[in-house]
Structure 1
Amino acid sequence: MDTNTLHKPPIHFNQMSWYDRFIVFCGVGFGSGLSPKAPGTFGSAFALLFVPFWLQLGLLGSIVAIVLMSLVGIYICGHTAKVIHVHDDGRIVWDEFAGQSITLLPLLYLQQMNWLWVIVGFILFRIFDVWKPFPISWADQKVSGGFGIMLDDIIAGLWAALCIFIIHFYFLT
């Protein structure tokens, strides 16, 4: 994902229909993706506000909610990219919401949802989202549209979640 927003065209909310404004507002993470620097990091940090929601839902409820968030995100990210005329714009961070939330699922399973583990999950997700090892890089480069915008972050979230399991089981048990 291109996170250099300094050379991106501005988003003109006042020139959009109310529907487009709503979808774009969701796509830019309720404004968290509009940070001039590191919008993906701000979007991922904003996603940490979902932690109490995931705790309330429990593991199975959170999985269902994250799957729905991801499916809806395909439309939200694709429509936002279409409206602002930039594919996978760094300001689109709904995909970070889903990827960061996936990262935290093992913490629910392991009943380790404390702020230290949440910060570890945040850092791991950001590393994978920025570094983009295979297959994240493949998804980022080869899959287009809203599905492509979502897919690389979903994979980054899965990689980060796997790392949390590995750290927990091989180093802490």
Structure 2
Amino acid sequence: MNKTPASVWRNPVHFLAFGLGSGAAPRAPGTFGTVAAVVIYLLLPPMGAGVYLLFLALSFVVGVWLCGRTAEDIGVHDHGGIVWDEFVGLWLTMFLAPPGWVWLALGFLLFRVFDVLKPWPIDWCDKYVEGGLGIMIDDVLAGLMALACLQLIAVLVL
């Protein structure tokens, strides 16, 4: 595991890339980052689907820059503590999710499973796509797979 750089607490770009500091957790920073993403998700104002998609797109574009810049500054590509990608992946998972704690917990679980196991093409992107896009894309794909599963479960159950 990579040591958390001191710049996380001094540099606003690094602080954001490290998920408001959640990625500085000594163990399982991706899980802690996803928990922080859940908290932010719960604090988001109600949004229609179009506005939420715009929020996701902006979060992704900003994330490519934040994560790429931070990785370059600290000299470690996809440092374990860079968790802005987990933020976007979880928020993507929850797009059009049914309301309620059960759905949020299931979305969290599905996203973490895909993010950790990295089935194809997630693993390929994780290995071969460089820079900020490379840091972001595997979690976006994990979020899309989790979204698809969550929506399928919702159709079958509701």
TM range (shorter): over 0.9
Partner in structure 1 of residue 54 of structure 2: 64
Q: Which residue of 1 aligns with 2:112?
A: 126
Contact 1:106 1:164 in 2 (8 A): no
Matched, 1:36 2:26: yes
Give yes or no for the alignment of 1:11 onto 2:1.
no
SS in 1 for 2:5: coil
Aligned position for 1:23: 13
Q: What code does the residue aligned with 1:93 have?
A: V
Confirm or deny: 8 A CA contact 1:11 1:84 kept in the other structure: yes
Counterpart-to-counterpart distance in 1, 2:45 and 2:101: 13
Paired residue type of 2:148: L
Identity score, percent: 41
State the superposition RMSD in angstroms. Answer: 1.7
Deviation of 1:59 (Å):
2.0
Deviating 4+ runs (over 6 angstroms):
none
Q: Report SS of the residue matched to 1:56.
A: coil
Please, what TM-score do these two structures have when normalized by structure 1?
0.86
Give the TM-score of the pair, scaled to structure 2: 0.94
Q: Which protein is bigger by CA-based radius of gyration? A: 1
8 Å CA contact 2:86–2:139 kept in 1: the answer is: yes
- Letter in structure 2 aligned against 1:169: V
The 5-angstrom pairing of residues 48-127 of structure 1 reads 48-107=38-97, 112-127=98-113
Gaps of 5+ in 2: none
